[in-house]
Structure 1
């Protein structure tokens, strides 16, 4: 029997849901598909879980801490390992993505061609998870 799937939606643990939502929704253009109920917490009003979509790409965000338990600053030890995770988004025109994001992310470096034939634009989200928009190098 062959296993068939309809997609993939990785779940990322985030420190600050409003900050992460602003990045994915307002900076990158993701839309909210579904979210857990809003909670009132010492850290503010937010959902602990969100399912986001950008075209056919899906990502879920979940708070790393329960309401009232989040430390005042990000835990460096926890954040350092997020760099081991990178989500790759296929797109038609990496340079157009760069042009769109450059105004919103002024420190964004331009895309580059990888030796294996992909044009890639790398960036990080607020929790230091890697994101890469990529497309085959045009001949």
Structure 2
């Protein structure tokens, strides 16, 4: 039985990715591993280069892993030329309009706020590694 799903994003710089997700989207650091170490840290030290991190916002958890480290764990990913994938991380949020204002200050907009036929108000942006992030709020019908 499947119990949980995490996204593990290949990133160029784990620290910069953590900073983006914490500052722009309000994620919290859960744990991380320093470069060249197998030590697990439960407090974030921005000046310490990291190879891996787990971040969380409510029930949403995302793993961030440096390219070389992730390829060592999953050698098949060595074929990946571009760290971005065709996957979209799609988040349901409470106030997509307010979040859109903040996102536009930090991210390139892929598709601006719009209403969908399936009852959602959405915006799509790219994070600092080029991953497409979708944010949606259910609309009253």
The TM-score by the shorter chain falls in which range? 0.7 to 0.9
Supply the RMSD in Å over aligned alpha carbons: 2.4
Determine the structure 2 residue equivalent to 1:34. 31
SS of the aligned residue for 1:51 comes to: strand
Equivalent residues in 2 for 1:1-139, closer than 5 Å: 3=1, 5=3, 7-36=4-33, 38-39=34-35, 45-66=48-69, 77-79=81-83, 82-102=84-104, 104-105=105-106, 107-108=108-109, 110-139=112-141
In 2, the alpha carbon distance for the partners of 1:93 and 1:113 equals 14
CA distance in 2, matches of 1:35, 1:99: 30
Q: CA deviation at 1:83?
A: 4.7
- Normalising by structure 2, we get a TM-score of 0.72
Unaligned runs of 5+ in 1: 67-76
How many correspondences in the alignment?
120
Gaps in structure 2 of 5+ consecutive residues: 37-46, 70-80
Question: In structure 2, how many angstroms separate the alpha carbons of the residues matched to 1:83 and 1:134?
Answer: 20
Alignment partners' CA distance in 2, 1:12 and 1:78: 12
- Aligned-residue offset at 1:4: 5.3
Q: Tell me the SS of whatever aligns to 1:24.
A: helix
